[in-house]
Chain A
Amino acid sequence: MIRIKEDRCDFCGTCVSVCPVDCIELRETVIKIDEKTCTDCKLCVYVCPIETLEFVDE
């Protein structure tokens, strides 16, 4: 699964722009991934400019 280090997030929306299944909800200072929809494709992890997201192998 993808884990978000929320304390590090700048809420810039780069991850949202590449999510193929539109499962990242971003508000002014809140970010959430809908785990049910997420396919673990990791595109969001790759494009985050400041390493906010990580893939955790369960």
Chain B
Amino acid sequence: MSDHYDVIVIGAGPAGSMAAWHASLGGAKVLVLEKDRDIGLPVRCAEGVGAAGLQSLIEADPRWIANKIEGINLISPHGKRVHLANEDFGYVLNRKLFDNFLAEKASKAGAEILTKAYAEELLFDEKGDVNGVVFSRFGKRLSLRAKIVMGADGVESRVGRWAGIRTQLKLRDIETCVQFTMANVDVTPSDCDFYFSHERAPGGYIWVFPKGDGIANVGLGISGEYAQYQSPLRYLEDFVQEHFPKASVLTTTVGGVPVAPTNKQIVKNGFMLIGDAAHQANPISGGGIVPAMVAGKLAGQVAAEAVQTGDVSAAFLKKYERQWYKSEGNTHKITYRLKEAVYKLTDDDLNKTADSILSLPEGKRTIVAVFKKALYNKPSLILDALKVFKMSISEVFDPLS
């Protein structure tokens, strides 16, 4: 470890590792601080990812792919299944190995990584700009200076707050999630199932993502707005009891997913916010892996440029913000509006939507058709849906992560 870095990244999830990797490729001297003892653990993710989005960033590698997904089923409250097939929908990952792989990439490109390194506070210069990090590791408290500090510390985003950025989420903008990884789950191994029901998962949805050999991630997220009446844990226990009474729980995973538009501020002088910490997950699916990787890559590239030109001001770092909006951020503004409408649909509305989709010939059952039917009385949102889904189904319906 040296005592001065170009870039210090706090958090070694997909955002942090991508940022460290790409900043290193750009010639910056990078250090990553990870608070946990293992990169990739504990997993806080449903592990589903769209193929198109992932492959635009890295080549899929069998080492961290648990299962290939060739279809999705959208299941209505009354149990009707709308099946959408696409042999290239996506993958269910093994997130621990996936996160390790990205950290390895960063390391091979020259970044230094420390686990068990718990960030305690930021350091500031006389003008009030961030210029370093204080962290503790094995009982020692260490201070390091950096030209740029990146907050990639997930949904809790303490680092963003230390930098003076307001990152608190409103109840309506967080999904509170519980997932069981279960054995002895009887589902189609190549399909991901999504259950929509205001009664069973208000303001969210239930997912069943098969990992092969009868193992599946079975989980749900509900809007924070509804969580005060019943916890997601109770909703999930009810669902599992009804659908998979013979399955056993191997792992329990819990966590919050930001389903908000991108945080208003994501850069300051010498500081950048990336991934869930910047509220960059897809607001309608909650999918956060690909957006975090996109943001990390962009932030890493811009950070390296900033270091090289000697200008780490917010004005320069805003290049990352502009590129983020061009790439994903503007789409997220629209999907946020769609989320607000879709998750307010009653079970009756959802049943009618499923019935009218199923009355279409199979070839015409698409995600766009689903949204058209679901939002039939909200024409402006149908236009929004068309704008978003013209891109690609799997990019947008990147499942919750």
Asked if A2 lies at the interface with its beta carbon under 8 angstroms from chain B, I say: no
Q: Please give me the 9 A-B residue pairs with the lowest Cβ-Cβ distance, nearest first.
A: A14-B256, A13-B156, A16-B156, A46-B228, A49-B254, A12-B255, A17-B155, A47-B224, A49-B178
Instruction: Identify which of B23-31, B168-176, B323-331 touches chain A.
Output: B168-176
In the bound complex, what is the Cα–Cα distance between A51 and B228 (angstroms)? 10
Asked if B278 lies at the interface with its beta carbon under 8 angstroms from chain A, I say: no
Asked if A18 lies at the interface with its beta carbon under 8 angstroms from chain B, I say: yes
B155 to A, closest residue via Cβ: A17
In the bound complex, what is the Cα–Cα distance between A56 and B374 (angstroms)? 42
How far does the Cβ of A56 sit from chain B's closest Cβ, in whole Å?
Answer: 16
User: When the two chains form the complex, which single residue of A14, A43, A46, A48 contacts B155, counting CB atoms closer than 8 Å?
Assistant: A14
Contact count band on B:
20 to 34
B221 to A, closest residue via Cβ: A49
Binding site for B on A (CB under 8 A): 10, 12-14, 16-20, 22, 26-28, 42-43, 45-51
With A46-B224, A49-B176, A49-B255: A17-B157 Cβ-Cβ less than 8 Å: yes
The interface residues of chain A lying within 8 Å CB-to-CB of B154 are 13
User: When the two chains form the complex, which single residue of B36, B161, B174 contacts A14, counting CB atoms closer than 8 Å?
Assistant: B174
In the bound complex, what is the Cα–Cα distance between A33 and B2 (angstroms)? 35
User: When the two chains form the complex, which single residue of B167, B174, B233 contacts A47, counting CB atoms closer than 8 Å?
Assistant: B174
The interface residues of chain A lying within 8 Å CB-to-CB of B42 are 10
With A13-B255, A14-B155: A48-B168 Cβ-Cβ less than 8 Å: no
Asked if B147 lies at the interface with its beta carbon under 8 angstroms from chain A, I say: no
The interface residues of chain A lying within 8 Å CB-to-CB of B231 are 48-51
How far does the Cβ of B36 sit from chain A's closest Cβ, in whole Å?
Answer: 6
What are 17 A-B contacts with C-beta separation under 8 Å? A10-B254, A12-B255, A12-B256, A13-B154, A16-B158, A17-B155, A17-B157, A18-B168, A26-B158, A27-B35, A27-B118, A28-B37, A47-B256, A49-B178, A49-B227, A49-B232, A50-B178
Asked if B44 lies at the interface with its beta carbon under 8 angstroms from chain A, I say: yes
Q: Are B118 and A28 in contact (CB under 8 A)?
A: yes
**B17-45 to A contact mask, C-beta < 8 Å, 1/0:** 00000000000000000011100001010
How far does the Cβ of A15 sit from chain B's closest Cβ, in whole Å?
Answer: 8
In the bound complex, what is the Cα–Cα distance between A19 and B227 (angstroms)? 15
With A18-B224, A46-B227, A47-B256: A12-B44 Cβ-Cβ less than 8 Å: yes
The interface residues of chain B lying within 8 Å CB-to-CB of A18 are 168-171, 174, 224, 256
In the bound complex, what is the Cα–Cα distance between A1 and B355 (angstroms)? 48
How far does the Cβ of A38 sit from chain B's closest Cβ, in whole Å?
Answer: 14
How far does the Cβ of A48 sit from chain B's closest Cβ, in whole Å?
Answer: 7
**B25-69 to A contact mask, C-beta < 8 Å, 1/0:** 000000000011100001010000000000000000000000000
The interface residues of chain A lying within 8 Å CB-to-CB of B152 are none
